[in-house]
Amino acid sequence: MTTMQEIFQSLTIVERMLVFVFIAPLVGGFLSGCDRKLTARLQGRYGPPIRQPFFDVLKLLQKENIVVNKFQNFNIVLFFIFTVFAGALFFAGANILLMIFSLTLSGTFFVLAGYSVGSPFSHLGAEREIIQIVSYEPMIILLAAGMYMATGSFDVAAIAMHKKPLFIALPGVLAGFLYILTIKFRKSPFDLSMCHHAHQEIVRGLTTEFSGPALALIEISHWYENVLLLGIVYLFFAFKPWLALVLTLGIYVLEIVIDNNYARFKWQLTFLSSWLFIAAAAGSNIIVLHWIK
Amino acid sequence: MAWFKRSPWVLHYNATSCNGCDIEVIASLTPLYDLERFGIINVGNPKHADILLATGSVNEKSKQVLKTLYEQMPNPKVIVAVGLCAISGCVFQDCYNVLGGVDKVLPVDVYVPGCAARPEAIIDGVIKACEILEEKYAQQKKARRTSA
């Protein structure tokens, strides 16, 4: 692990970004495959092979690309680019605030893609996506603030090199982040706009008008995003890299178990519960941290 | 290499079926048969689908829907007629309002017999449809190359 860190530190920022761009989809696709297998096992099914997400994406790339207007895929490409950029910034150890802006921008383009087509299902999906963004966005900002107060830096590299365990200083922020992680992973009970399971229902809304390569791009962006989010979880335990890796994967498994055990919330409950939980957990954590200092 | 065999996504439409075949289609998704182990997903959106599973004898009303669904599916695409009604109209074939089979409206590639079609037969039909998908993709590629 230490040798890996040394290799990582010897790279320039651009090289680190390139490493992320090439490795993250492989890791993300593999995690997604594990997700589907584990979900199937939890439901008493045998489940698809672990490589299944790659088969799906490769197939989608070979399908015809039906578009209803020329803006819809433009928005998806921007969504993809900004998601990758946010992840690349994070794994290059750059500023966490810039990463958050890029991630938010990618989310905005995804909503715009939903609105750019005529389908009412797609519009409904876009509205639900906005509600999700509003629900999780305060937590992302509190995350950056909390990490700054605990480590004195906004740089991901400095936060990762912090010697003290971050999760002891920021237990509430971690809890709040885990809460919104379910929204970001698009898992039950918060899978309002782009659910992975209920293909016939309105929760599949946002992707209604996207076919073939555009749908593949959405899926790949989702992989990048998942790797980035797990990277943020890693930061909380970064003082011991091996422990951090195990705990991060453990939290991913926990999310899958939650996904399989909870019914979907209504949007009102999603919004209210996440804001209340964020205010109670992360908000109080940051206030206490402020008093201690 | 074409990947359709590894991840065929299925769209299921009930064109005035008695629901017998539809229950069997859904039954093949259950843990006992588990279609997903072949990468088969039952999607609800024609724009995501590769294979159209149509059941029922098709009447004047469902004809339009069937056509629209087919037109919205991106190429390459395959149609599977599930059950005797979808093949010939079965006991309903003499009814004044019934067209008598999916192939009266759309070019059907695979016929799955049975009243109702058994889940094993449906899975077999979908696997056959995958091979036709690959063939269609190869033809498409060839046509594109010759025209370019």
What is the structure's pLDDT at A2? 64
A83 confidence band (pLDDT: 50, 70, 90): very high
What is the structure's pLDDT at A165? 86
Domain boundary assignment for chain B: 9-147
pLDDT at residue A104 greater than cutoff 70: yes
Q: What percent of chain B has pLDDT over 90?
A: 28
The answer to whether position A5 is within a domain reads no
Q: Say if the Cβ atoms of B4 and A62 lie within 8 Å.
A: yes
Question: Average model confidence (pLDDT) for chain A?
Answer: 89
Average pLDDT over residues B59-75: 90
CB atoms within 10 A of CB A68: 14
What is the structure's pLDDT at A238? 87
B75 confidence band (pLDDT: 50, 70, 90): confident
Nearest CA in chain A to B136: A63
pTM score, whole prediction: 0.92
Average pLDDT over residues B90-115: 89
What is the structure's pLDDT at A102? 93
Q: Say if the Cβ atoms of B6 and A43 lie within 8 Å.
A: no
- In angstroms, what separates the C-alpha of A38 from chain B's closest C-alpha? 12
The answer to whether position A7 is within a domain reads no
- In angstroms, what separates the C-alpha of B65 from chain A's closest C-alpha? 16
pLDDT at residue A140 greater than cutoff 90: yes
Average pLDDT over residues A140-149: 92
CA-based torsion, A184, A185, A189, A191: positive or negative: positive
Q: Say if the Cβ atoms of A55 and B44 lie within 8 Å.
A: no
What is the structure's pLDDT at B37? 87
Taking CB atoms and an 8 Å cutoff, what residues of chain A touch B143? Answer: none
A203 confidence band (pLDDT: 50, 70, 90): low
Q: Say if the Cβ atoms of A40 and B3 lie within 8 Å.
A: no
The answer to whether position A1 is within a domain reads no
The answer to whether position A3 is within a domain reads no
Of residues B147 and A127, which shows the higher confidence score? A127
A48 in Cβ contact with A189 (< 8 Å): no
Name the token pair of B131. 């091979």
CB atoms within 10 A of CB A171: 15
How far is Cα A1 from Cα A171, in angstroms, rounded to an integer?
Answer: 25
Average pLDDT over residues A152-180: 89
The answer to whether position A2 is within a domain reads no
What is the structure's pLDDT at A14? 84
What is the structure's pLDDT at B1? 63
pLDDT at residue A271 greater than cutoff 90: yes
Q: Does A32 touch chain B (CB under 8 A)?
A: no
Average pLDDT over residues B103-112: 91
A191 confidence band (pLDDT: 50, 70, 90): confident
The answer to whether position A186 is within a domain reads yes
Q: Say if the Cβ atoms of B74 and A63 lie within 8 Å.
A: yes
Q: Does A66 touch chain B (CB under 8 A)?
A: yes
* A232 alpha-carbon distance from chain centroid: 9
How far is Cα A193 from Cα A206, in angstroms, rounded to an integer?
Answer: 6
CATH-assigned architecture of domain B9-147 = 3-Layer(aba) Sandwich (3.40)
Taking CB atoms and an 8 Å cutoff, what residues of chain B touch A199? Answer: 41-45, 48
Taking CB atoms and an 8 Å cutoff, what residues of chain B touch A63? Answer: 50, 74-76
pLDDT at residue A174 greater than cutoff 80: yes
Burial grade of A239 (CB within 10 A; 0-12, 13-18, 19 or more): middle
Q: Say if the Cβ atoms of A48 and B72 lie within 8 Å.
A: no
The DSSP result for A170-215, as a single string, is -HHHHHHHHHHHHHHTT-TTS--SS-SS-TTSGGGGGGTT--THHH
The answer to whether position A60 is within a domain reads yes
A172 in Cβ contact with A143 (< 8 Å): no
- In angstroms, what separates the C-alpha of B107 from chain A's closest C-alpha? 19
Task: Give the count of domains, chain A.
Answer: 1
Q: For residue A147, what are the domain limits?
A: 13-292
Nearest to B7 among A40, A59, A66 (CB): A59
pLDDT at residue A28 greater than cutoff 90: yes
What is the structure's pLDDT at A162? 84
Strands (E), B89-136: 110-112
What is the structure's pLDDT at A221? 94
pLDDT at residue A195 greater than cutoff 80: no
Which residue, among A220, A250, A229, has the nearest Cα to A21 in the 3D structure?
Answer: A220
What is the structure's pLDDT at A70? 83
